[in-house]
Structure 1
Amino acid sequence: MSEALRQKNSGVTAGRQPWWITAALGSCVIAISYGLARYAYGLFVPQFALSFRIDGTGLGILGAMSTLGYALGLLAAPRTSMWSARGTLIGVCGLASAGMLLMSVSPNVVVFGAGLLFAGGSAGLTSPGLAQLVSDTIRPAIREQVQTWANAGTGWGWAVSAFTPMLVFGWRGVWLCFAVLALGMMVVGILAFPRGRPERREESETGAPVRTGWRPGMTAMLVNSVLLGLTSAPYLNFSRQAVREAGLSMPMSVWFWFCMGAAGLAGGLAGKAAQRYGLARANVGIWMLWAACIGMLAFPRLGAVAALSSATLFGAAFMALSGLCILWGARLYPNLAARGVTFSYLGLAFGQTVGSAAAGVLADFTNFSVVFAVTGLVSLLSWYQLIEPFGPPPPEAVPGDQAALPASTDRDGTAV
Structure 2
Amino acid sequence: MDEKKLIIVGLPMIAVTYGLSRFSYGLMLPYISESIKMEQYTSGVISSFSYIAYCIAIIVAMVFSNKISPKAILFLAGLLSIIGLGIISIAANPAVLGLGIFLAGLSTGFSSPPYATIVDLNVERSLQNQTNSWINSGTSIGTALTGSIAIIMTDSWRETYLIFMVIAIIVLFANYKVLPKNQSIKENGTFGFSKEEWRRAVPLIVASMLLGISCSAYWTFSRDFILQAENIPDYIGKWLWVVIGISGLLGGTAGAVINKHGLATAYRISVLALSTSSLLLGRFADNSMIGFLSPALFGSSYIFMTGVLIAWGISVFKLNPSFGLGIPFLILALGQAIGSVFSGVFADLLGYPAIFIGGSLIGYAALFFKKSTIS
Aligned to 1:180: 166
Letter in 2 for 1:193: L
Instruction: Report the CA distance between 1:210 and its aligned residue.
Output: 4.5
The counterpart of 2:313, out of the listed 329, 339, 349, is 329
Match of 1:238 among 221, 228, 243: 221
Sort the Cα spacing of 1:110 and 1:362 in 2 relative to 1 into closer, same or farther, 3 A: closer
* Counterpart contact for 1:145–1:271, Cα < 8 Å: yes
In the other structure, the counterpart of 2:127 is 142
Cα distance between partner residues in 2 of 1:114 and 1:361: 22
Q: Give, in whole Å, the separation in 2 of the partners of 1:336 and 1:372.
A: 36
| Aligned mates of 2:368, 2:49 — CA distance in 1 | 33
Q: Is the 8 A contact 1:136 1:197 kept in 2?
A: no
The equivalent of 2:202 in structure 1 is 219
Describe how 1:2-401 pairs up with structure 2 within 5 A: 16=1, 18-82=2-66, 83-106=68-91, 109-166=94-151, 167=153, 170-195=156-181, 196-197=183-184, 199-202=186-189, 210-211=192-193, 215-244=198-227, 245=229, 247-300=231-284, 302-387=286-371, 390-392=372-374, 394=375
Quote the offset at 1:64 in angstroms.
3.2
Q: Distance in 2 between matches of 1:373 and 1:57?
A: 19
On the 8 A contact 2:69/2:185 being kept in 1, the answer is no
Cα separation, partners in 2 of 1:288 and 1:223, compared to 1, 3 Å: same
For the residue of structure 2 that corresponds to 1:217, the secondary structure is helix
1-structure distance, mates of 2:50, 2:149: 20
How far apart are residue 113 of structure 1 and its match?
A: 2.9
CA offset at residue 344 of structure 1?
A: 1.0
Unpaired segments ≥5 residues, structure 1:
1-15, 204-208, 395-416
Asked whether the equivalents of residues 41 and 348 of structure 2 are also in contact (C-alpha less than 8 Å), the reply is no
CA distance in 2, matches of 1:320, 1:212: 28
CA distance in 2, matches of 1:56, 1:186: 34
CA distance in 1: counterparts of 2:134 and 2:239, whole angstroms: 23
Provide Cα deviations, 1:56-102, integer angstroms capped at 9, x if missing partner: 44434432332232122112111343221122122211210111112
AA partner of residue 233 (structure 1): S
Please tell me whether the aligned partners of residues 242 and 297 of structure 1 are also in contact (alpha carbons under 8 angstroms).
Answer: no
Q: Which moved more, 1:126-135 or 1:39-48?
A: 39-48
- The runs of 5 or more residues in structure 2 that have no matched partner are none
Distance 1:108 1:237, change over 3 A: closer
Instruction: Name the amino acid aligned to 1:180.
Output: V
Change (3 A) 1:364 1:300: farther
- For residues 301 and 120 of structure 1, the distance between their equivalents in structure 2, rounded to whole angstroms, comes to 30
How far apart, CA to CA, are the structure 1 residues paired with 2:370 and 2:168?
A: 41
| Separation in 1, partners of 2:89, 2:206 | 37
- What amino acid maps onto 2:178 in structure 1? A
Once residues 282 and 112 of structure 2 are traced to their aligned partners in structure 1, the CA distance between those partners, rounded to angstroms, is 32
Question: When the two structures are superposed, what TM-score results if normalisation uses the length of structure 1?
Answer: 0.82
CA RMSD of aligned residues (A): 2.4
Change beyond 3 A, Cα 1:367–1:52:
closer
Q: Whose radius of gyration is greater, 1 or 2?
A: 1
Distance 1:152 1:79, change over 3 A: same
What SS is found at the alignment partner of 2:286? coil
Deviates more, 1:82-91 or 1:216-225: 82-91
Output the amino acid matched with 2:373.
G
1:335 alignment partner, SS class: coil
The answer to whether the Cα contact below 8 Å between 2:36 and 2:92 also exists between their aligned partners in 1 is no
Q: For residues 251 and 129 of structure 1, what CA distance do their matches in structure 2 show?
A: 39
Q: Is the 8 A contact 2:77 2:111 kept in 1?
A: yes
Distance 1:300 1:141, change over 3 A: closer
- 1:160-194 Cα distance to aligned partner (Å, 9 max, x none): 00133341682222111111111111111111113
- 1:340-395: per-residue Cα shift (whole Å, max 9, x none)? 222211210121122233334444444443433333233222332443xx232x5x
For the structure 1 residues 349 and 325, does the alpha-carbon distance in structure 2 shift closer, same or farther, using more than 3 Å as the test?
same
